[in-house]
Amino acid sequence: MNPRFSVVIPAFNAESTVAETVRAVVAQPLARDLFECIVVDDGSSDRTAEVAERAGAVVVRLPQNRGPSAARNAGIQNARGEWIAFTDADCVPSRRWLPSFLAAAETADRSTLALAGKTIGLESKTPAARFMDLVGGLDAEAYLRHETMPWAPSCNLAYRRADLLAVGGFDAAFRWYETPELHLRITERFGGKILHVPTAIVMHRHRADWKSLWQQQVIYGRGYGHFLLRYGDRWPWSGPREARAWAGLLLPAARAATARGDEGLARRGLLLKQVAQRVGFISTFFSPRERRRFRRRPSARDRGKPAGFKSGNGLPLWLALGHFILRAPARLARSELPVFLRRVAAQSRDGTDFARVARLSRRWLRLPLLRSRDTCYLRSLILFRFVDARDGDLCLHFGVDEPCLAGGRRHGHAWVSLDGRALNPPATLGAGRLREIYRFSKLNGGASKADATFAAAMIRHGD
C-alpha cells in the first residue's frame, strides 16, 4: 500500500542541520505506513546524504548541484505518496505537522490545490533572526492574502503528487522564486486555492546575521526578476517603474532612521530586505544574458511583431518551424529513429524557449493543409528540435497507456522533458497508467534498437 504522504526535503551541504529535520519527520505520531521521508542530496560536497540516511530518510543522490527545483522534482519522481509535503533541510517540523496535514487532506475536495502550514522561527536570538519573526517573513497566511497571486513558501507546503506530475513539477530553470511559478501553472491547469492549516507548524532557522539575510534577499530578488521575464505579458515592468520603486524607498528609509526598539528593528530590516531584493531584481531583469535565458513572453503591445531572433539554421524561428514540420516526416521515413534524433539533437538552438516554440508551432499546425500532421509525436519532435536546453538534459519520451484499448489496441503518447520535468505531459502521465517504452536524451542518446523501432512505428501510424 502506498503512503498518504511523502515528505520531500531538498538538501545541499546541509550535514549540520539535516539530521534534526529528518528525525523530526520520522518521529511524527502517525503509523509509518502512512508517510515516507525522502531527502534529495543535491550534489553536496559534504556528508549530507550519509547523515540523512543514518537519521532515517530514504536518500536520492543527484550527481551535481542543480538547485532546489530539480532536487524537488527528483523527490517527486521517487515518491509514492498521494500527497507530497515539502520542507527544507534548515527546518524542524513540529509533532502536529503531518497529522494536521493528513486531517486537512482527508476532508479536502478538488477545489483545494495545496495545503500550507504555519512557519515560525527557531532559536531566533540575533537581531536579523528576530526581525524575520517580527515581520512574519515566512508567514503563509500573509502570502495567501495577496490579491493578485496568492501562494505559500515551500518550506511548509503540500500538493497532490498527480497534480505536480501533470504540470511537470517545478521549473528547473528557476533556482529561486520557483514556488509561485509552480503554483501559477497548477492554478491555471486545475483552478482552486491553497488551504491554510495553522496547526501544521514548521520551525525555520532564519539567517542569523545581516550579511546572510542580505545575500538571501538578493537571491529572492533575482528570482523575482526571472519570474517577470517569463511572465512579462501579465505583469509588465520597465525602467521608469523600477525608478519609481527605488523612489518609494526614501520614506521608509527616513522612518527607519528614527524608529527605536522592536519597531526600529522591523523598519530597518524591512528596508534592508527591500533594497536587497531590488538589487537582485535589476541584476537579472535588465541583464541581456538573463533575458535570453528567460525569454519574455510577448506583452500586448509586442504581439504581432515579427520574431527578431534566428533559429540554429539561420532562418527566423517561425520559418524554421514550418520547414521542419514539412520535411521531418519524410526525413524520418528515410532513416532509423535514433539516427534521425542524433542529427536533430546536434543542431543549435540559440536561446529558444519552450513557450515560444509551442506557440509558433500551434499556429503552423492549425493551418488546414497541416492539421493532419498535428499529433503528439510531431509536436514533441518539434520541441526536441527547437527548445534550448542549455546545459540541461532534454529528453524525448515515447510511451503507451496500460491497459490496452478495446480490441487490444494500444494508445501511444510522446512528450519531452527537461531535467526530469515534462514540458508537454500527457494526461495519463500523472495517473500511473503510462508505460514508457523508449527515451532519447540529448546528452546520453537512446535505449535499445528494438524499442526505437516500436517508437518509430508509433510515429508512422499516429497511434
For the stretch 54-99, pLDDT in tens is 999 999 999 999 999 999 999 999 999 999 999 999 999 999 999 9
Residue 291 C-alpha cell reads as: 533575458
Strands 421-422 and 412-418, sheet pairing:
antiparallel
Question: What is the reported pLDDT for 403?
Answer: 65
Question: What is the reported pLDDT for 335?
Answer: 82
Query: Is 447's pLDDT higher than 90?
Result: no
Reduced 3-state DSSP string for 125-156: CCHHHHHHHHHCCCCHHHHHCCCCCCCCCHHH
Question: What is the reported pLDDT for 462?
Answer: 58
For the stretch 121-173, pLDDT in tens is 998 999 999 999 999 889 899 899 887 889 999 999 999 999 999 888 999 88
Domain ranges across the chain: 5-207, 212-293, 317-461
For domain 5-207, which architecture applies? Answer: Alpha-Beta Complex (3.90)
Question: What is the reported pLDDT for 305?
Answer: 35
Which of these, 249, 281, 241, lies nearest to 267 by C-alpha position?
249
Give the bridge partners for 83, in sequence order.
5, 160
Residue 3 C-alpha cell reads as: 503512503
Position 118 confidence tier, pLDDT thresholds 50, 70, 90: very high
For 165, the 3-state DSSP assignment is helix
The pTM assigned to this predicted structure is: 0.65
For the stretch 206-230, pLDDT in tens is 999 999 999 999 999 999 999 999 9
Task: Provide the greatest CA pair distance for the chain.
Answer: 79
Position 302 confidence tier, pLDDT thresholds 50, 70, 90: very low
Give the bridge partners for 193, in sequence order.
112
Give the bridge partners for 394, in sequence order.
418
Residue 448 C-alpha cell reads as: 535499445
221 vs 109, 198, 224, CA distance in Å? 35, 27, 5
For 8, the 3-state DSSP assignment is strand
Q: Which sign does the torsion angle of CA 294, 298, 302, 305 carry?
A: positive
Q: Answer yes or no: are the C-beta atoms of 387 and 348 closer than 8 Å.
A: no
Question: What is the reported pLDDT for 304?
Answer: 35
